[in-house]
């Protein structure tokens, strides 16, 4: 029911009702899930195109709800943000992912510069709390900044630009790299790219999907332009949502450094990641 004629005075629809009551019920359960740490993390490998090496993983939250089953983060993260739960959820994600990173270190499964990448919400970029959490979790797990990256979207940064910039500067002072997520999808000005310091640019899946699809070649041109810009800025590039061999080949030709996507692996439980990491590098 997205487009409606101007004369159709639809005030309430059954589908709206479902959505609203689902949201209310989700809120209730999510509050409990966050306080009971009833969430889990999965890890998606990030692979270097040149060496075919897993250089890191992105940590993604999962919620298996009693009443709703598996709820996607695309649905529960916004709910957590609205409810003021994102601070707690975000703190949990930092603690849990850095604990896992520390464990892999201890077991000698990964190199020192192998990194875990954690997503941060707009609200976490306001104030310095997140910096303290990151520092604490690094200390607890004997990690150096080298092993950690945070991901922020352009639109989260833009919400409170000056404060976010300040928080990100403190995060970088810990030696943690900053990745700009979903690059190219927000209507933001390119001016911030030189104003804000960051280390990695993640090309959104929508641009990767357009690779090689069209006869005019615009899909490839956009990705080529993003990669050229990243190189000029001296930052690394990760292509997101790579599913097909043909996309991988185009990205390689265009000089993309790193890729992430179902082609190599979907996000995995820690134990599954440990069991398959060498097979992923063989792909």
Answer with the entry of ligand C2E, Ca ion, none that 87 interacts with (C-beta below 5 to 8 A by kind). Answer: none
Report yes or no: 167 and 131 within 8 Å, Cβ to Cβ.
yes
Applying CB under 5 A, the span of 6-14, 28-36, 65-73, 240-248 interacting with Ca ion comes to: 240-248
The verdict on 74 binding ligand C2E (CB under 6 A) reads yes
Residues 6+ apart with CB under 8 A from 197: 168, 169, 172, 178
User: Least distance to Ca ion from the beta carbon of 11, Å?
Assistant: 33
Instruction: Choose, by CB under 6 A, the member of 46, 47, 61, 258 that binds ligand C2E.
Output: 61
C-alpha 187, offset from chain centre? 19
Helix intervals (H) in the chain: 14-35, 73-82, 86-106, 129-140, 154-159, 161-173, 191-195, 205-209, 218-233, 245-253, 270-282
Q: Which stretch binds Ca ion (CB under 5 A): 45-53, 114-122, 189-197, 263-271?
A: 114-122
User: Residue from 121, 164, 220, 250 that binds ligand C2E (CB under 6 A)?
Assistant: 121
Q: Among residues 53, 65, 73, 161, which is the contact residue for ligand C2E, using CB under 6 A?
A: 73
**By C-alpha distance, which of 156, 52, 40 is closest to 100?**
40
Smaller CB separation from Ca ion, 31 or 185: 185
| 119 part of the interface to Ca ion, by CB under 5 A | yes
Torsion angles phi and psi, residue 239, rounded to 5: -90, 125
- The residue (of 61 and 119) whose beta carbon lies closer to Ca ion is 119
Could you tell which of Ca ion, ligand C2E, none binds residue 56, using a CB distance below 5 to 8 A set by kind?
Answer: none
Counting contacts by CB under 5 A, is residue 151 touching Ca ion?
Answer: yes
Q: Is 45 in the site for ligand C2E (CB under 6 A)?
A: no
Q: How far is the CB of 215 from Ca ion (least distance, A)?
A: 28
DSSP letters along 45-95, please?
EEEETTTTEEEEEEEEEEEEETTTEEE-HHHHHHHHHHTT-HHHHHHHHHH
Tokens 């993390």 belong to which residue? 41
User: Which residue(s) pair with 181 in the sheet?
Assistant: 153
Site string for ligand C2E, 92-111 (x = CB under 6 A): -x------------------
CB nearer to ligand C2E: give 61 or 250. 61
Least separation in angstroms between CB 192 and ligand C2E: 19
Residue 265: φ, ψ to 5°: -170, 145
Cβ proximity to ligand C2E, 141 vs 260, nearer residue = 260
Cβ at position 12, least distance to Ca ion in Å: 31
Find out whether 200 and 150 touch, Cβ atoms under 8 Å.
no
Question: Given the rule CB under 5 A, which residues bind Ca ion?
Answer: 119, 151, 181-182, 240
């Amino acid at each position: 029911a997205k487009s409606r004629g101007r004369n159709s005075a639809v005030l309430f629809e059954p589908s709206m009702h479902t959505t609203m009551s689902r949201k209310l019920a989700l809120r209730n359960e999510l509050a409990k899930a966050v306080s009971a740490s009833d969430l889990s993390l999965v890890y998606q490998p990030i692979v270097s195109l040149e060496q075919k090496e897993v250089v890191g993983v992105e940590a993604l939250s999962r919620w298996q709800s009693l009443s709703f089953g598996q709820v996607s983060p695309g649905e529960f993260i916004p709910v957590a943000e609205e409810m003021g739960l994102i601070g707690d959820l975000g703190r949990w994600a930092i603690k849990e992912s850095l604990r896992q990173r520390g464990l892999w270190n201890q077991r000698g499964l990964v190199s020192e510069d192998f990194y875990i990448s954690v997503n941060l919400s707009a609200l976490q970029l306001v104030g310095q709390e997140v910096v303290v959490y990151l520092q604490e979790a690094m200390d607890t797990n004997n990690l150096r900044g080298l092993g950690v990256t945070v991901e922020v979207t352009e639109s989260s940064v833009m919400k409170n630009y000056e404060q976010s910039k300040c928080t990100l500067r403190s995060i970088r002072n810990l030696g943690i790299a900053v990745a700009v997520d979903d690059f190219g999808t927000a209507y933001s000005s390119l001016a911030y790219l030189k104003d804000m310091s960051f280390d990695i640019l993640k090309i959104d899946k929508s641009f990767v999907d357009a690779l090689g699809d069209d006869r005019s070649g615009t899909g490839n041109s956009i990705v080529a332009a993003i990669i050229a810009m990243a190189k000029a800025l001296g930052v690394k590039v990760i292509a997101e949502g790579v599913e097909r061999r043909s996309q991988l080949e185009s990205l390689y030709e265009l000089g993309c450094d790193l890729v992430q996507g179902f082609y190599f692996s979907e996000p995995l439980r820690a134990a599954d990641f440990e069991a398959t990491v060498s097979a992923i590098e063989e792909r």
